[in-house]
Every structure is written in C-alpha cells, then in structure tokens.
Amino acid sequence: MENTPKILIVEDNKELSDLVARAFKKEGYRVSKAGDGRAMMRAIENERIDLIVLDVMLPGEDGLTLCRNLRATSQKPVIIISAKGDELDRIVGLKMGADDYLPKPFSTMELIARVEAVLRRADSIAIEHAETGEEQFQFSNWTLDINQRELTSSDDIIVALSTGEFDLLKVFLDRPKRVLSREQLLDLARGRNAQAFDRSIDTQISRLRRKIEQDPRNPTIIKTVWGGGYVFAVDVIKT
C-alpha cells in the first residue's frame, strides 16, 4: 500500500475536493486533502506526497504563488486546476512551475489520465537511469545528478527543477548539438498524452534559460534555430 502513489488535492471547494478524492480512490490512489496553502505545506512536511493537484483560487496565497514558492525547494509534480482556461492563463501556470494545467470544468477521468501521464514520465526516467547506470551530466558550469534529480552549479548552488524542466533538460543532454523541433521536444519530453500546444515548450525553455544561462536574453547553452526549433549548443560529458 505504501508504494501506491499518494495525491494531495489542494481545493477549498469541499464538494469538488470530495468528488475528486473519491475518483482517485476508486482508481486505487491514496489521497490527502488540503483547503489552503498552510494545510498544503503541513501535508507535504508530514506525508509522502507523490503529486499535487492545486487549485488557483484559494483563501490566503493563491495556487500560482504556492506553486512558484514550492518550486524553489521541491521537484514534486504539480497539476494546476483553474476556472481560468485560456492560453495565457495556461502559460502563466507553466511559468510558475506547474507540470500540467487543466481548466475547469473538467472530467475526473481526464484529470486522472493527466496525473498518470506525469507520474509515468517520472517513473520511466527513473527506470531508464537505473538500466543505463547514468548518474551525472556535466555541461558548461553545471552538473545534473540523475539519481538525485538535482542541478548544481560550479559554486555548489542547487537549483530546483520541476518535473517538466528536468524532462526537457534530459532530452537536450541526451542529444547535444542536434536541432530538435518543438514537436520532437514535446514528444520526447512530455509524451503523446500531454496537451499538445507548441508554446508550452517555449515556456519550459524560457524557464530553463532563466536557471542555467548567464544571460537568458542572449542564450549560449540552449539556442534558438529560427524555423527549426532549438539546439543544446555546448559539450556534454556523461559520468
């Protein structure tokens, strides 16, 4: 039972929270619930949470702020749910560090499918690394520890990565100096079950650049190839 993924539902609407919780339990997941940011942090500190379903509109700090603050210290997968569902709102959610974004109203089965996709990506990466024995990638002034899922600078500063950022960076590190289209990046990093709108890749790359580039406005690591996509332009050493 302890190996069954545990989902934390952060939603102040009790009726919706109970509905979503019942749907997850029916599919065999363990579930915890929180009505605001403080309760969310208590659950994270006291329980083994595998993924967070986070509403935007909450009492106190809103879900976007909570997601951004969580990303500073944690890589736990986050799926944002919100009554605001246009493209700009989805992009803002991804910029705050969410791994996926689902507008309300939604079907519980679609939410469960998205949760399964995010968890499956994390699991497949862990299995791949265990099979290949890959442990670290070194590039520019950075080291990515695969087993610990930690990005460390040359002066020993650890930078937190979301699941989406980690997946995308791993795709680039596996294919340095090779031009990859948005479609290829979306497929390799997020899988066919992900919501396929190209600007999500642009958003993830923008976030990665802010974390690894000395000057994100003039990137030297992840370069844009106009009309072609992106290329990881520096040497990569596997150890």
- Is the model's pLDDT at 200 over the cut of 60? yes
Q: What's the pLDDT at 196?
A: 41
Q: What's the pLDDT at 122?
A: 66
- Please name the amino acid found at residue 143: T
Q: What is the CA radius of gyration of the chain?
A: 18
80: part of which helix (H) or strand (E)?
strand 78-82
Q: Which of 18-27, 68-77, 96-105, 138-147 has the highest mean pLDDT?
A: 18-27
- Please name the amino acid found at residue 216: P
Please state the pTM of the whole predicted model. Answer: 0.60
Four-residue CA torsion sign, 87, 93, 94, 98: negative
- Is the model's pLDDT at 202 over the cut of 90? no
Four-residue CA torsion sign, 158, 163, 165, 170: positive
- Please name the amino acid found at residue 36: D
More confident call, 195 vs 124 = 124
What CATH architecture is 6-121? 3-Layer(aba) Sandwich (3.40)
Confidence tier at 39 by pLDDT (50, 70, 90): very high
Please give the Cα distance from 237 to 239 (Å, whole number): 6
Nearest in space to 93 (alpha carbons), one of 45, 136, 52, 145: 52
CATH 3.40.50.2300 in the chain is located at 6-121
Q: What's the pLDDT at 65?
A: 92
- Is the model's pLDDT at 195 over the cut of 60? no
The answer to which of 3-7, 24-28, 29-33, 67-71 has the lowest mean pLDDT is 3-7
pLDDT tens readout for residues 162-176: 888 888 999 999 899
40: part of which helix (H) or strand (E)?
helix 37-46
Nearest in space to 203 (alpha carbons), one of 99, 116, 52, 86: 99
Q: Provide the 3-class DSSP secondary structure of residue 89.
A: helix
CATH 1.10.10.10 in the chain is located at 134-238
- Would you state the structure tokens that stand for residue 93, as one six-digit string? 């959610």
What CATH architecture is 134-238? Orthogonal Bundle (1.10)
pLDDT tens readout for residues 44-86: 887 888 999 999 999 999 999 999 898 877 778 999 998 876 7
